[in-house]
Structure 1
Amino acid sequence: MPASWTFAVARDDLSRTTLVEGATPTLADGEALLRVDRVGLTANNVTYAVLGDSMRYWQFFPPGPRGLGPQWGLPPLWGFAEVVESTVDGVTAGQRVYGYLPPAGHLVVRPDRVDDSGFRDASGHRADLPSPYNVYRATAGDPAYREDQEDLLVLFRPLFFTSFMLADQVVDNDFYGAHSLVLSSASSKTAYAAAFELHGRGPRLVGLTSPGNLAFTRSLGCYDDVLTYDDIDTLAAVPTAYLDLSGAPATRAALREHLGDRFVRDVAVGLTTQTPNADAAGEVFFAPVQMRKRRQDWGRDGLDQRFTDAWQRFTGVVSGWLDVRVDAGHDALRRAWSETLAGRTPPRVGQIVQL
């Protein structure tokens, strides 16, 4: 088996990267080896790095065993991997799984709770981390999987899960009593997927975006109106909830100034401009929290079915909103990271890297 490799970024300067090669990991009893195959790069991955310390994202794939010092971090990616070796019953070589992966050639996992749907990684360093990120779904047992939609799953599934749970929380809280919902970074995949779920179900949906993304965002048809950030003072002065996916302090300040006491809810969702916004917001949305609530309400199968139904509705339209760009190799991964970090990826482009 060929040597493995790892791509890492400097935790204090995400634009500084390194690539190291090493021996392919060997397994202990109870472990399986995954070969990372196909991953996506979106603003969501940058968010993981920006929040690497505060939300513990750096802890999923520690750099030490890969020969890297603590100043380096491995930004988590979503995608597909293949089991190439296993010491665990029910996890077999050739099995294809979807889940949280390092920017690396291989990943050693300790499969637990193995069934037809896949397994969880029970590695000790992941025991106290949010459980949804430790799930590896076997394609053969995944109701949302279709081979011809792999790239959509890579690019959108984690984002759409966040969007799906965000929309569900908004509905679950009776839209916070708002007459208008305002979403920043409206051209981002997470924002417009949430808007797709919310459109026509209650309050008026208003997207905020940059002038360069205005035409694209309006073309989606999932917002009732789309404005540039400079046009916030034209918003109707009605009870308004803000779903902040940009983290831009100036946007929050402008909304508060314009709406006054009609600014009824302020929820930080993500960071597409890399400005930590949790302290300034009224609250922070974290998808696993709402997921746990709905698992109690609906059960695991009920949640999976609702997600699958929503995913199928979304994939029926999203392919018309996206141009998938596929590149290959770890150098392509480095280029895609740099482009995404710098915000140079057009909203219509989805970046896939075959490793």
Structure 2
Amino acid sequence: MPESWTFAVARDDLGRTTLIDTATPELAEGEALLRVDRVGMTANNVTYAVLGDAMRYWEFFPAARSGLGPEWGLPPVWGFAEVAASTVPGVEAGQRVYGYLPPAGHLVVRPERVDGTGFRDATAHRAELPSPYNAYRSTAGDAAYRRDQEDLLVLFRPLFFTSFMLADQVADNAFYGADQLILSSASSKTGYAAAFELHGRGPRLIGLTSPGNVAFTRELGCYDEVLTYDEVDTLGAVPSVYLDLSGSPDTRAALRARLGDRLVRDIAVGLTNQIPNAEAAGEVFFAPVQMRKRRQDWGRDGLDQRFAEAWQRFAGAAAGWVDVRAGKGPEDLRRAWLDVFQGRTPPRVGHVVEFR
């Protein structure tokens, strides 16, 4: 493996990729060097690239810092890294952290607000970007961390955080008075994690998925009913909330035709088929907004504890729902990206890539 490396995708053609060798970055005073160790690749990462300009995801890890031109972008990934070197007290070589990382061998960070739970990256270009993405959690001070769950954390933690906050927002608003909650992309990790959190707490849960994923989605046990997209016209015409994770215009049109004014909320959560859905939906869910609310309500420690408890409940079930497809090195990262981007990854499969 080269001294360091960077994986990038063409911003106007996400199926075109490049891998370049780079030198290990040098540190200035106040900086630390993270060696990226273990990351996941899911549809969530493709979403970051699809929304790279609109939601500024390309700006977290500028391609220019790796010597690449403006046509290239670095799709962010989530995973574990180890501190390789540090000039910052409290951030020590060998410390293991979880957070938002570039698809690269190393990342230079400027730690601030260092404590037992980790630190935040105060690098100047990240200052105006959404703050939750700038936090690096030390495994030693993380209530949700267990070493034997690293693969699950790599694959699910950022998705589960979105799902946890989505379910919390829906419940916090008394389910918007709905009798049923309808989730598209019900076989996706974000979809069924939200359903896991919501199941049995109020309205019926209806999962929409493609015919090939019906059996898997039903076996999860998270939904009261699972329908294919062409069965929307069989839905009960009762007050309903649509949690849209697919971004499909046809599904939205069919739901509106079936439910009319009984569709009391139409919330865009994300997208998996690369059709932006924010403009067509009634509103957009953004997890950091609900997170800020709950930090005010519960405090940071209270939010962390509730999340850790929910995560452990979910992890116990999710371990039986995913088959980890392990990779090693940057070429396997490229292959995982293309598999996910081109829709070749079955819902049971989760890509985890190591760089040791």
Report the TM-score range of the alignment, normalised by the length of the smaller protein: over 0.9
Q: Which runs of 4+ in 1 moved over 3 A?
A: none
Q: Tell me the distance in 1 between the aligned counterparts of 2:281 and 2:342.
A: 24
Partner residue in 1 for 2:192: 192
Q: Tell me the distance in 2 between the aligned counterparts of 1:293 and 1:143.
A: 21
Matched ranges for 1:196-345 at <5 A: 196-345=196-345
SS of the residue 1:187 aligns to: coil
1:193 alignment partner AA: A
2:195 alignment partner AA: A
SS of the residue 2:320 aligns to: helix
Partner residue in 2 for 1:60: 60
SS of the residue 1:291 aligns to: helix
Offset at residue 23 of structure 1 (A):
1.1
Partner residue in 1 for 2:32: 32
Kindly indicate whether residue 106 of structure 2 is the aligned counterpart of residue 106 of structure 1: yes
Contact 1:2 1:24 in 2 (8 A): no
Q: Tell me the distance in 2 between the aligned counterparts of 1:334 and 1:316.
A: 30
Offset at residue 39 of structure 1 (A):
0.3
Q: Tell me the distance in 2 between the aligned counterparts of 1:213 and 1:239.
A: 26
Partner residue in 2 for 1:46: 46
Partner residue in 2 for 1:85: 85
Partner residue in 2 for 1:94: 94
1:192 alignment partner AA: Y
2:349 alignment partner AA: V
Offset at residue 261 of structure 1 (A):
1.0
Kindly indicate whether residue 74 of structure 2 is the aligned counterpart of residue 74 of structure 1: yes
Offset at residue 316 of structure 1 (A):
1.3
Contact 1:40 1:353 in 2 (8 A): yes
Contact 1:36 1:101 in 2 (8 A): yes
Q: Tell me the distance in 2 between the aligned counterparts of 1:23 and 1:3.
A: 6
Partner residue in 2 for 1:14: 14
Contact 1:185 1:246 in 2 (8 A): yes
In structure 2, the CA distance between the partners of 1:194 and 1:263, relative to structure 1 (3 Å rule), is same
1:9 alignment partner AA: V
Contact 1:185 1:245 in 2 (8 A): yes
Q: TM-score, normalised by structure 1?
A: 0.99
Q: Tell me the distance in 1 between the aligned counterparts of 2:339 and 2:290.
A: 32
1:334 alignment partner AA: R
Contact 1:247 1:274 in 2 (8 A): yes
1:188 alignment partner AA: S
Q: Tell me the distance in 1 between the aligned counterparts of 2:2 and 2:55.
A: 34
Offset at residue 4 of structure 1 (A):
1.2
Unaligned runs of 5+ in 2: none
Offset at residue 2 of structure 1 (A):
5.7
Partner residue in 1 for 2:163: 163
Aligned residues: 355
SS of the residue 2:150 aligns to: helix
2:145 alignment partner AA: Y
1:255 alignment partner AA: L
Q: Tell me the distance in 1 between the aligned counterparts of 2:111 and 2:244.
A: 36
Contact 2:2 2:21 in 1 (8 A): no
1:144 alignment partner AA: A
Summarize deviations over 1:94-133 as a string: whole Å, max 9, x none. Answer: 1110000000000000000000110000000000111110
Offset at residue 21 of structure 1 (A):
1.0
1:272 alignment partner AA: T
Q: Tell me the distance in 2 between the aligned counterparts of 1:24 and 1:191.
A: 38
Offset at residue 3 of structure 1 (A):
2.3
Contact 1:47 1:270 in 2 (8 A): yes
Matched ranges for 1:166-177 at <5 A: 166-177=166-177
1:266 alignment partner AA: D
1:282 alignment partner AA: G
Q: Tell me the distance in 1 between the aligned counterparts of 2:22 and 2:345.
A: 31
